[in-house]
Structure formats: C-alpha cells, structure tokens
Copies of this chain bind each other. A is one copy, B any other.
Amino acid sequence: MPYDPSEYPPFAVTVDLVVLTVRQHALCALTVRRGEEPFRGQWALPGGFVRADEDLATAAARELAEETGLLAHDSGSRHAGAHLEQLATYGDPSRDPRMRVVSVAYLVLAPDLPAPTAGGDAGGAQWAPVGRLLGTGGPAGERLAFDHATILADGVERARSKIEYSSLAAAFCPVEFTVGELRRVYEAVWGVPLDPRNFHRKVTGTPGFLVPVGGTTTRQGGRPAQLFRAGGASALNPPMLRPEG
C-alpha cells in the first residue's frame, strides 16, 4: 500500500443532493438547470465539489444552504432544519465524460418551501414531481443529466423505506403539524391511500412518536385538528406497513 502521491490516481470528489419535499400531494425533488456543457440546459441534481479541507457532510450542508437557504441538522435537534443523511456513492468511470468524478450523494428531506431560491451558480431551480423525473407516471420527458436519475431513484427508494420504521416523515412537515398532514405525507411518498382511522390509531398509539403541543388548526378544513411535534422516538416498532408490499 504505497502512498507516494504519484502512485495513486487523482479523483475529483463532488456531493450531489437529492432534496425531497411534498407539495400538493406529490413527492417532489429539487432540480437545477445546467448552465454549462455537458448536458447544458438539462435538469440535474444540485451539487458541487468538495473543498480541500471540508468534510463530506459539511460540503453537502453547504451546498444545501447555497441552493435553498435550508439549515441541515444531521440528527437530533428540534428547530426547523432539514434532515440530511448520506445516501450512496457513485463512481462509474464513465459517469462524467470529462474526468474521473466520484460523487457522494446525500438525501435531504425538507418541509414544503415557498420557492427555490436559485442562489449560487445555478441558472434556475425548480421542484419537480419525482414521478415525472423518473418517467413513471407521465411523459418520459426531460431526463436528468449524468446518472442523476439513478441517484434520484435510490434516494426516493430510501425515503420510501425509511418512513416505514422511523419518524422521518415528520421531516417533511412544518414544526407543528396534524395527524392528517402527516398521513398525507405518507400517502404522497408511497403513492397509496391510507385509512385515516387506522393511521391515527397507529401514530397516536406509539409512545414518544408524537407530542401534543396544545393548539388546534383548521387549515385543512373540517373539524379542528390537534397539533403535534415530532417526538423523540426515532424508531417505530412495529413498523408502519406499506400496503401491497
């Protein structure tokens, strides 16, 4: 295992972000318009180079803040930050036509945001339903640049399976939310309808999963609903079962 710098091939290392949110009953991903070749004009996942003295997660959080203004927290904390976790790493030698690039993808789950603040160097940014981006449920329209469709698909699958056995779905909600809003998150992420009564019984019956915060709201119409915060229990046991699994 020699470490002579001339002995190892040099790589560029980037982070790519799969930023997911739920908007109008649909799971959406943040995409940016590429301003340069290759894939100029196509949509891509936000991302960028890791700096020389920067940790991978730090680079991901920095890119997230540049693109959306969101503050990420790795885990724990209660303020209105987004959930950020490492997804996977993609390093096929031909994934970038110009050079050898290894990309560490991060998954971000964010509450519904007003509008992408196309900050930084990206030409434009928009939320797009993942069904359209992945060609499942709509015209197989604009494909994502590079291998970003694969990365996005992996991120969506991770999100779908993780909300089964964790309280991560609350990351898609504002700080205070109702049981019905949380249920609509599950329905959007899984793409299936859930029984409101059984869902209510399940989430309110799991100790530590939801913490009542006192108030009520009628922002969904109908009878006023209690407001909750996400509880400390991050594990959901037994898990919420995804129908037709």
A interface list, Cβ under 8 A from B: 1, 3, 5, 7-13, 35-36, 48-56, 86, 88-93, 98-100, 102, 104, 121, 235, 237-239, 241, 245
Contacts and interface: CB of A to CB of B under 8 A. Distances in A.
A127 to B, nearest CB: 21
Residue from A8, A48, A241 having most chain B Cβ neighbours under 10 A: A8
B102 A13 contact: yes
Contact of A36 (B1, B11, B53, B238): B1
A245 to B, nearest CB: 6
Given A1-B48, A9-B50, 14 more contacts: A3-B98, A7-B49, A8-B12, A9-B51, A10-B11, A10-B12, A11-B12, A55-B91, A55-B92, A56-B89, A56-B90, A56-B91, A235-B245, A237-B245
Contact of A91 (B48, B49, B92, B104): B104
Nearest to A35: B1
A172 to B, nearest CB: 23
B99 A5 contact: yes
A5 B237 CA distance: 49
Given A11-B12, A102-B56, A88 B86 contact: yes
Nearest to A48: B1
B3 A93 contact: no
Contact of A100 (B52, B90, B99, B237): B52
A235 B50 CA distance: 36
